[in-house]
Amino acid sequence: MKALTLALHMVLLHRVDGGEVAINPAQVTVLHPTASSTGGSNKLLTKDVHCVVGLSDGKFVSVIEPCDLVRKLIEEAVP
């Protein structure tokens, strides 16, 4: 009998409180840079958030990494 091997390649990001969040790259639908990451101001998010990651389940994750870095990590994680 052949064994089925399933490998999940997760991307490890960080919340504003320093906590880690693992994201499945296959579930990422959109990356939104925040106004603070482009030099502006945003009244809806803390200044430490640099990227908002949209997921396929409709949820959003606010992370301190810039969207360029998040995009690079996602591309590296996809086999």
Q: Are 31 and 71 in contact (CB under 8 A)?
A: yes
Which amino acid, 32? H
Q: Which of helix, strand or coil describes residue 54? A: strand
Residue 3 pLDDT: 61
Residue 1 pLDDT: 54
Residue ranges in the chain whose pLDDT is less than 70: 1-7, 36-43
Tokens 């482009």 found at: 38
Helix (H) or strand (E) holding 73: helix 67-77
For residue range 18-27, what is the model confidence (pLDDT) as tens digits?
999 999 999 9
